[in-house]
Amino acid sequence: MSVESATFAGDGVGRTMHAALYGELAGYTASDGQGRRTQDAYSLFYARSAAMGWLTPAVAGAEGGLWGMNEGEATPGTGSPVSGVAFFQVSLTGPTRDAVLPVQPFLACVSDVVARLGQLRLDAVQVLLPQREAGAPGTLAAPSGKRIAGALLDSRNWFADRDPKLRAQLRVTLDGGPDPSVREAASAIMQYVMEVSQNVFVFDSFSLAADDHLVLWPAPLDRPTTEFMHHRVTFKGRLVEWSLDALGWLAAFIADVASRNGITAPLMLTADHP
């Protein structure tokens, strides 16, 4: 699977949202009667985005939608070791300060598209969370005065009645690239999440040790010749379910919490289900 490279925090990345799926994708039989597909990952993602009202038309002065389409590709993958099977990249068109990053609809769209292409065994996912301004207003979410985006609190109940047997151990690595603030704020992020009233993800611990980090190569949006140090922190806990839907909520939640703890740089979130 090829990925067009860009610097981790370079031009345009501040508005770029990217997702890469790792695992194995068993394709369905082609439907055109000649062993060929009539649609690919890009066209399916474009169509699904448009149908759901998430796509901003690529015309001057266009309004509405959440993103403009950049790229999309899927391949079967080898399955072992962990290999990339699909990636999708969009450019955000809406505000990022006062609004929740639309990671959940983004990954929901990815999930719908991949389901049309084949049967996915998801081993890991990687999402680029665009940079945000710090200090966005929010809704009171904890007795201690912690606040969070209201939409995240409203949507947490979507997962309220899931079967407890679906709860999955999760490892989440946040990579701030050359910006060290993610490591400096790791303890504050964990404390913040633990105090917010939600049960989608329960934190157990965090680590700054290199051996604990989840690093998948090639890393999307990262040049092979990158010379800067990657500042990473890894959190471990329990997610309500191992799904792109729940991971989308969690990624938006962590992005919101990170911005409230002074992190404005783009973050690469990588998660797996050990």
DSSP letter for each residue of 155-184 = HGGGGTT--GGG-EEEEEEEE-TT-THHHH
Residue 81 lies in a domain: yes
Q: 73 lies in which domain range?
A: 13-272
Quote the pLDDT of residue 241: 97
Residue 200 lies in a domain: yes
Give yes or no for residue 246 having a pLDDT over 60. Answer: yes
β-pair partners for 207 = 234
Does residue 256 sit in helix, strand or coil?
A: helix
Predicted TM-score of the model (pTM): 0.88
> What ranges make up the beta strands (E) of the chain?
16-27, 67-74, 84-92, 118-129, 139-140, 147-148, 168-175, 201-207, 232-239, 267-272
Residue 119 lies in a domain: yes
Give yes or no for residue 9 having a pLDDT over 70. Answer: no
* 101-120 mean pLDDT: 95
Residue 6 lies in a domain: no
Residue 1 lies in a domain: no
Among 33-42, 164-173, 212-221, the range with the most confident prediction by mean pLDDT is 164-173
Picking from 269, 255, 129, 262, the residue whose alpha carbon sits closest to that of residue 213 is: 269
Residue 116 lies in a domain: yes
Residue 258 has φ and ψ, to the nearest 5°, of: -60, -45
Number of domains into which the chain is organized: 1
Does residue 126 sit in helix, strand or coil?
A: strand
* 162-177 mean pLDDT: 94
Give yes or no for residue 13 having a pLDDT over 60. Answer: no
The rounded distance, in Å, linking the Cα atoms of 214 and 237 is: 14
The rounded distance, in Å, linking the Cα atoms of 274 and 157 is: 26
Residue 3 lies in a domain: no
Residue 160 lies in a domain: yes
Does residue 228 sit in helix, strand or coil?
A: coil
